[in-house]
Structure 1
Amino acid sequence: MGGSFFCVFNGARLFLSLHMVMICFMHKGYTYGVEGKIASHTVSVSSLLPSPSCSPSTSKASSRKSTLEVIHKHGPCSPLVQDHNPLNHTEVLLQDESRVKWIQSQSSNRGDGLKASAMVSLPAKSGFTIGTGNYVVTIGLGMPKKDLTLVFDTGSGLTWTQCEPCIGSCYTQSEPIFNPSQSSSYANISCASTSCSQLGGSGCSGSTCLYSITYGDQSFSMGFFATEKLTITPTEVIDNFEFGCGQDNSGLFGRAAGLVGLSDNSISFVEQTAAKYGKYFSYCLPSTTSYTGHLTFGKDGGAPSSVSFTPLSKVPQSTQFYGISILGITLGGNRLSIPSMAFSSGGAIIDSGTVITRLPPTAYSALRTAFRNAMANYTMAPALSILDTCYDFSKESTIKVPLITFSFAGGVDADLGPKGIFFIASASQVCLAFAPNRADSNLGIYGNTQQKTFEVVYDVAGGKLGFGSNGCS
């Protein structure tokens, strides 16, 4: 976050003109106002665009004990080879919209999207998408261990993967589908167990517990609820981890083998590993698809000392999402005039799987107007799906971008870098990465674009969320 900046002229006390003050505060690609507050970034357009080659991060977190590498599933570092095709940005945003509708429906309907049911054959719905974000990690499952690449998601509780035999249908994934009959550590969970009852119903096949998870766009996974050995790193192994062994799965999951659920509920990874990791995890999402980040469990190795914590808040009518309190937005050093009720009426969550931050329309309108005014010297480009403020930077070598700062409860300010401000389709279509909800009363979502390069720390046991700058490339 912010630091202090000083100009000293031979130790003398000088009376500086406004012009001299501005020169004093022109430093390191930033423009500062007379009070020393950053007003804008000056960045090269080429630095905003991803590279075609993979540049693994040299993150400090790599030395921590329980750390997984985080990779953008469509980038050059991705093990999901078929996902290296150029991104269809419109499709990404449509998937994102589906996810937002699902999250907001869960919040308003008191559901968690998970229910147990009898095993039934459902028609394949290959045209539907789960929209669960862009970032994957690779973990080991079973004995002997089989590596699986899974989407990680702070908005979902159940961890699941596709399993043989596919009784209904299985979508195409990069790695071989997990076969529980080849693992000596696999066991089904009894229908009479407490774990089964926590799924929200009593779906059974004989005495064996079944699960069925359906997302708002009708993507689904269903199969046996089971336990298995989960390998995080060679020295970090979790026995009897409860997961969904999906034998009927449908949706465009991007060739990932399934999902790691990191939400705050009774069956999530966070709750199941509470004794080991203290309900504490952090991640850093890379600045572009060409870099890697990390997902770290527990406090081992410590989070960066620069982390500032805001209280986690309760989300109305839901227990699984991580609520945060947004108090205001500053653009170019000026606090936007947004009534506090605009943020408080619907509340907000932070979500690893939502790409574009959703703001109350009152707040979005103020941000868009101020941003367009600050960027008035640049050529606008056509809207991209839900994004209505886009620019053509194809003829620019450098651009000046106003700093956007989010203020959270507890006195925490998060200064967004340029890659946390824009959704970039190409140099000729660079869009402001925010969208409005339908009403101020809708749940707001702080998305993953705005989380890039921050060390985002979830101290679930302590009831707080931290932001640390420069967590990864």
Structure 2
Amino acid sequence: MASRKVLLLFAFTLLLSSSAVVSRTVSSEFTTSVLNVSFVLQQALDILSIEPLEQEFVSLSAINSSSSSSFSLPLLSRDTIFKTQMKDYVALLNSRLARDSARVNSLRSKLSLALNQILPEDLSTPVVSGLSQGSGEYFSRIGVGTPPKQYYMTIDTGSDVNWIQCQPCSFSRCYQQSDPIYNPKLSSSYRSLGCNTQQCAALDRAGCSGTTCQYQVSYGDGSYTVGDFVTETLSFGNSGTVPNVAIGCGHNNQGLFAGAAGLIGLGGGKISLTRQVKAKSFSYCLVDRDSADSGSLEFNSAFPSDSVLAPLLKNPKLDTFYYVGLIGFSVGGKPVQIPPSVFALGSSGNGGVIVDCGTAISRLPTQAYVALRDSFRKYAGNLKSTSGFALFDTCYDFSGLSTVSVPTVSFLFSGGKSLNLPAKNYLVPVDSMGTFCFAFAPTRSSLSIIGNVQQQRTRVSYDLVNNRVGFAPSKC
């Protein structure tokens, strides 16, 4: 009997402790956010007619590969760089969602290959995605070579290998891009990498052509890039340069990259740009995808003082992805009943929550999504609901409204911190008439993804030394 009393006392103490944690992360009062319907719809109309921007990008300071100086470069959403050919916003959104599904499949494929230690099949017989809209949601203007030639490059936190389309490259072996294809013969800083170099050994998929290192990257949507692995000088504006960056010179590239000249990998692997410049931290702020404004990508800059901090976790099986210690959600300041184990990163590398700049719509395991969605529906009962759209099953009719008050949605992180999302970061337009949908989606995978819609207008900072992620709203 005495031991039973001790167990009951321990359970009661644990319950009180858990309640205290919840009370520190969520408000005791019901909370709402204001969605500026008119402003968001005007952006949706404007993006259809916007002319591509001509940008001269200037970095904040010069760096070299062994320094820890800070530098920055602007980021632009793809539809401000490559003029959309879509006739209306519905068509534009459908093309975005198609790219997004391909992106999610690519990330899951990469993780599955790592967990099962399977290498991609040889790409001598190309498998090309049928989508032609182009991949990548945020781009920057980066100089490649000496003297530098400027190219639009996709930034990607879910990839490690930097690469660019490279001559010689026939029409059948390269996709269409807006800039001229990079010609290594015109650069004095171009150097081939040998098969025995550290950079070559760091590739997941490497080969040799004589003594020259060959790289090969395939993506889960059927896209791929193959070519020589080399070093080049990258330039950021008129002053900042990074010599001897390992980069793929792609002679055979197909799939979802139309428009961009190549990709800058910001993942956690050994050959990503972040690792090659020995960055102690990096951060980005992504503007709304319908905005003509620019955000920024920064290296070694200080965290904003008002950042909401969360643990940065590491997957023992894959060092590319950035995992964050998410434990749940609140809606209207009230915690959603989701077991924290749903978001846990397992010792085998399964599960967990990654922060990804290339995925648009956040994906949650079905159990977590249903709980979050049902909670939002419950507290949004006064809003006029309408039929679903594409992957969205919770939509509302805000036509005729200038603004609307909606329940606040918040991320809850381990360590007792919460991040309130702006209303436009979880209610997105699906047409130009006033239909908005709840911007989360379910997945049968155990991997959760925080997408760029939820990250809009938020400075997301990665402290690579102290293993922290910071979120600071309105820091573009």
Give TM-score scaled by structure 1 length: 0.83
Partner of 1:89: 93
3-state secondary structure, aligned to 2:32: strand
CA separation of 1:428/1:112 partners in 2, compared to 1, >3 Å: closer, same or farther?
farther
One-letter identity of the residue aligned with 2:137: N
Which residue, 436, 451, 457 being the options, matches 1:430?
A: 436
Distance 2:315 2:164 in 1: 28
One-letter amino acid of the structure 1 residue matched with residue 295 of structure 2: G
Q: Does 1:366 align with 2:367?
A: no
Relative to 1, partners in 2 of residues 1:421 and 1:35: Cα closer, same or farther, differing over 3 Å? closer
Letter of the 1:91 partner, please give it. Answer: S
Change in Cα spacing, 1:46 to 1:316, as seen in structure 2 (3 Å) is farther
Q: What SS class does the counterpart of residue 353 from structure 1 fall into?
A: coil
User: Structure 1: which amino acid aligns with 2:79?
Assistant: H
> In the TM superposition, what whole-angstrom CA distance separates every residue of 1:221-241 from its partner, at most 9, and x where no partner exists?
111111111002322110011
Residue 17 of structure 2 corresponds to none
- For residues 257-336 of structure 1, what are the structure 2 equivalents within 5 Å? 257-274=261-278, 277-278=279-280, 280-290=281-291, 291-299=293-301, 302-315=302-315, 317-336=317-336
Question: Does structure 1 residue 352 correspond to structure 2 residue 357?
Answer: yes
- Measured against aligned partners, the alpha-carbon deviations of 1:319-377 in whole angstroms (never above 9, x if no partner) come to 21111121121111111111222222621111111111111222211111121223333
Contact 1:287 1:419 in 2 (8 A): no
Local SS of the residue matching 1:88? helix
The residue number in structure 1 matching 2:421 is 416
The question of whether the paired residues in 2 share the 8 Å contact of 1:328 and 1:408 is answered with yes
The 1:258/1:55 distance shift into structure 2, 3 A limit, reads closer
SS in structure 2 at match of 1:246 = strand
Q: Which secondary structure state, in structure 2, belongs to the residue aligned with residue 281 of structure 1?
A: strand
Moved more, 155-164 or 463-472: 463-472
State the Cα distance separating 1:211 from its structure 2 match.
0.8
Moved more, 361-370 or 259-268: 361-370
Cα offset for 1:54? 8.3
- Counterpart of 1:241 in structure 2 is 245
Equivalent residue, structure 2, for 1:141: 144
Residue 455 of structure 2 aligns with which residue? 451
* Runs of 4+ off more than 3 Å: 34-38, 51-56, 61-65, 81-87, 111-118, 120-124, 128-133
- Residues 313, 325 of structure 2: 8 Å contact kept: yes
Residues 135 and 258, structure 2, Cα contact 8 Å, conserved in 1 = no
Query: Could you tell me how far apart the structure 2 residues matched to 1:68 and 1:436 are?
Result: 34
Structure 1 residue 396 displacement after superposition: 2.0
1:125 corresponds to 2:154: no
Q: Which amino acid aligns with 1:283?
A: Y
Gaps of 5+ in 1: 1-33
Separation of aligned partners in 1, 2:116 and 2:268:
11
Spell out, residue by residue over 1:276-322, the C-alpha distance to the aligned partner (whole angstroms, 9 max, x if none).
Answer: x32x11000113422221111112xx332112321111236322111
Contact 2:27–2:334 (CA<8 Å) still a contact in 1?
Answer: no
Match of 1:41 in 2: 33
- 1:216 aligned counterpart, secondary structure: coil
CA distance in 1, matches of 2:208, 2:87: 41
For residue 213 of structure 2, the aligned residue among 206, 209, 214 is 209
User: How far, CA to CA, are the matches of 1:117 and 1:125 in structure 2?
Assistant: 14
Shift of 1:251: 1.1
Which amino acid in structure 1 is aligned with residue 37 of structure 2?
V
> For the residues of structure 2 that align with 1:35 and 1:209, how far apart are their CA atoms?
56
In 2, the alpha carbon distance for the partners of 1:142 and 1:113 equals 35
Amino acid at match of 2:393: D
Aligned to 1:380: 385
For each residue in 1:233-273, what CA deviation from the matched residue of structure 2 results, as whole angstroms up to 9, or x when unmatched? 32211001110111111113241111110000011001101
Q: Look up the equivalent residue of 1:71 and give its one-letter code.
A: L
Give the distance between the partners of 2:449 and 2:327, measured in 1 at CA: 14
Counterpart CA distance in 1 for 2:236 and 2:119 is 27
Q: Secondary structure in 1 aligned to 2:79?
A: coil
Aligned pair in 2 of structure 1 residues 194, 117: CA closer, same or farther (>3 Å)?
Answer: farther
Q: What SS class does the counterpart of residue 244 from structure 2 fall into?
A: strand
Tell me how far 1:130 sits from its aligned partner. Answer: 9.8
Deviation at 1:131, TM superposition (A): 7.7
Higher mean alpha-carbon deviation, 458-467 vs 150-159, is at 458-467
What TM-score do you get using the length of structure 2 for normalisation? 0.82
Q: Distance in 2 between matches of 1:83 and 1:225?
A: 35
Instruction: Give the percent of matched residue pairs that are identical in Structure 1 and Structure 2.
Output: 37
Structure richer in helix, relative to its length? 2
Counterpart contact for 1:70–1:135, Cα < 8 Å: yes
Distance 2:198 2:120 in 1: 13
Which runs of 5 or more structure 2 residues have no equivalent in the other structure? 1-25, 62-69, 346-350
Deviates more, 1:358-367 or 1:154-163: 358-367
**Counterpart amino acid of residue 138 in structure 1:** R
| Residues 1:199 and 1:113: Cα distance change in structure 2 (over 3 Å) | farther
* 1:163 match: 166
- Partners of 1:319 and 1:246 in 2: CA distance: 24
Residue aligned with 1:289, SS = coil
Over 3 Å counting, the alpha-carbon distance change for 1:208 and 1:35 in structure 2 is closer
Deviation of 1:182 (Å): 0.9
Answer yes or no: is the 8 Å Cα contact 1:310–1:412 preserved in 2: yes
Q: Alpha-carbon deviations, 1:421-458, whole Å to 9, x = none? A: 1232224331111011115xx11111111111111001
Shift in Å at residue 126 of structure 1? 5.5
State the one-letter code of the partner of 1:285: L
User: Residue by residue, what CA displacement relative to the aligned partner does 1:83-106 show, whole Å, maximum 9, x if unpaired?
Assistant: 787563223222212222222232
- Pair 1:149–1:55, CA change in 2 (3 A): closer
* Worse-matched range after superposition: 286-295 or 256-265: 286-295
Total equivalences in the alignment: 424
Shift of the 143–373 alpha-carbon distance from structure 1 to 2, 3 Å rule, reads same
Change (3 A) 1:315 1:132: farther
- Secondary structure of the residue aligned to 2:35 is strand
